[in-house]
Amino acid sequence: MEKLRSHRCLIILDDVQTILSSGQIAGNYRPECENYSSLFKLIGSTCHNSCLILNSWEPPIEIVALTRENARVRTLPLDGLGAAAGEIFREKGLLEPEKWGTLINTYRGNPLWLKIVAAMIQELFSGRVAEFLQYDMLFLPEELKARLQQQCDRLSDLEKQVMCCIANEIEPVSISQIIEKVQLSPDDLCNALLSLGDRALIEKQEQDNQALLSLSPVVRQYVISYPVD
């Protein structure tokens, strides 16, 4: 801490989810990594001249609490690329730019997912996006399935139950609808939904003054094809 106060340091910790526990609600530490909790609290709650950046699939529980309490701590979710993802398709030599928006929306602008799909379209369809889209399929290559499996393997049993419930619904569902379908108390359900939100595995939208929940097309297809329970 003396160094962080006397110098302007930048510390970046990548893949922080590797020090967090699997099979529990998001943000809990593996037993041998619990000292990170004290480190993050100290850096996040005391005055210094430096910056700590954590890159993770899920935020440590202290970061969630500090974000609410301390204006110096920020949580910045990484959104999809949107129209900027077209640069990926240009680099891959895809044709028919007017069809690219459908791919970007389906794969939520995730650059890795789009690179994988674009490479497949170039190899199998000679870059013709319209020909790929006519099969009305959501392509889940092995590399993408492996990434999703890694994330789903981290889920608690409560989260898996809720994920399967939402995936089985074609339309977005309300919390009251989920309660009717799963054997969970409102308290357990809310904790599971908050955790899935921290993991960026559910999507929320407002409709008729009601919050509705759903999964992205890619995550939903994975959960239906390879049930996480």
Same domain? For 131 and 155 the reply is no
SS3 212: strand
Looking at the fold, whether 158 and 118 belong to one and the same domain comes out as no
pTM value is 0.83
Instruction: Give a yes or no: residue 77 inside a domain.
Output: no
What's the total number of domains in the chain? 3
Q: Tell whether the model's pLDDT for residue 15 goes beyond 90.
A: yes
| Of 69, 97, 119, the domain-final residue | 69
Does the pLDDT value for residue 100 go beyond 90? Answer: yes
Distance CA 128, CA 5 (A): 56
Q: Is residue 153 located within the same domain as residue 214?
A: yes
208-227 tens-digit pLDDT = 888 899 999 999 999 998 87
**Would you state the pLDDT for residue 175?**
92
Distance between CA 47 and CA 17 in Å, rounded? Answer: 26
Q: Could you write out the DSSP letters of every residue in 44-59?
A: HHS--S-EEEE--SS-
Containing structural domain, residue 90 = 82-139
What average pLDDT score do residues 31-40 get?
Answer: 94
pLDDT, tens digit (0-9, with 9 covering 90-100), for 171-196: 999 999 999 898 889 999 999 999 99
Report the pLDDT averaged over residues 24-30.
93
Does 26 have pLDDT greater than 80?
yes
pLDDT of 36 > 80? The answer is yes
Let me know: does 161 contact 189? Beta carbons within 8 Å: no
* Average pLDDT of the residues of the chain: 91
128-168: pLDDT as tens digits: 999 999 988 788 888 889 989 999 999 999 999 999 999 99
pLDDT of 55: 95
Strand pairing of 203-207 and 51-54?
unpaired
**The pLDDT of residue 229:** 65
Question: Is residue 189, in this structure, part of any structural domain at all?
Answer: yes
Residue 130: its pLDDT value, please?
94
CB under 8 Å to 224, separation ≥6 — which residues? 167, 168
- Contact indicator for 122, 93 with CB cutoff of 8 Å: yes
Are 110 and 84 a contacting pair, CB within 8 Å? Answer: no
> What per-residue confidence (pLDDT) applies to 227?
76
Query: Rounded to an integer, what distance in angstroms lies between the CA atom of residue 160 and that of residue 166?
Result: 10
- Side chain identity at residue 39, one-letter code: L
Asked if residue 76 belongs to a domain, the reply is: no
Are 132 and 156 contained in the same domain? no
Who has greater pLDDT, 83 or 229?
A: 83
